[in-house]
Amino acid sequence: MSAAEDAQAVDRVLQGDLSAFEGIVRRWQGPLVNMAYRFCHDRGRAEEMAQEAFVRAFRGLAKWRRDAVFSTWLFALAANLYRTEIRRIPPRTVALDQIIEPADPSRTESGLEDEDRRRGVRRAVQSLPSKYREALVLFYFHDMDVATAAQSLRLPEGTLKARLARGRDMLRRKLLHGTR
């Protein structure tokens, strides 16, 4: 589905064709769930937050002004909702699906080490102040595209760059001193 098809689907939904929204959901469910997962690292909660984002998008579909592509509007709406949700109920340091994950015997030692380091990075990211954490989460979610991440956060690019630099600096220091 292209940006034009997104716009057509939105028009159909606004004319009362509810089934057209299913195309939007199928197209954007992966990105929206993944964005939520990066905020909370809990699959169940990520899907709940993404569902709420879709419902809010449906409710506010008429407010999409078409000055940007649909996905930009949708990501900004979702990012705003996720930020509020995470500030309201912060995620646990270690999510349940990480604890009960069975060990894979075929994994090499370096693979396990990699996984440990990945978890360490996640924990360090979660411990950052929200404005730096949000900047990092959205920057990496958008494949390190500053302009798109800034649009999602509704921030000027310069502000985002400054937060990224400061956030990465804090993250590196935390990891260096083992503050996990």
Partner 1 sequence: MEHDDLDRFLSDDEIVPSSGFAARVMEAVRAEASAPPAIPFPWLRALPGIAAVAVAFFAIVAGFVALGRSGVDTPVSTSLTLPPGTEVTWLIVVALLCTVPVVVSLRITRGHS
Write out the residues near partner 1 by the rule CB under 8 A.
Answer: 18, 21-22, 25-26, 29-30, 33-34, 37-38, 43, 46-47, 50-51, 54-55, 58-59, 117-118, 121-122, 125, 136, 140, 143-144, 168, 171-172, 175-176
Nearer Cβ to partner 1 (48/162): 48
Nearer Cβ to partner 1 (67/143): 143
Smallest distance from partner 1 to CB 21, Å: 6
Tokens of 164: 């990224």
Q: CB neighbours (10 Å) of residue 94?
A: 14
Smallest distance from partner 1 to CB 66, Å: 21
CA angle 165, 133, 28 (to 5 degrees): 110
Nearer Cβ to partner 1 (51/72): 51
Measure the CA–CA gap between 111 and 106, rounded to whole angstroms.
10
Smallest distance from partner 1 to CB 77, Å: 14
Smallest distance from partner 1 to CB 131, Å: 17
Tokens of 170: 């804090």
Alpha helices (runs of H) in 15-156, residue ranges in sequence order: 20-40, 43-59, 70-88, 96-99, 109-126, 130-141, 146-153
Nearer Cβ to partner 1 (38/163): 38
Tokens of 139: 């920057």
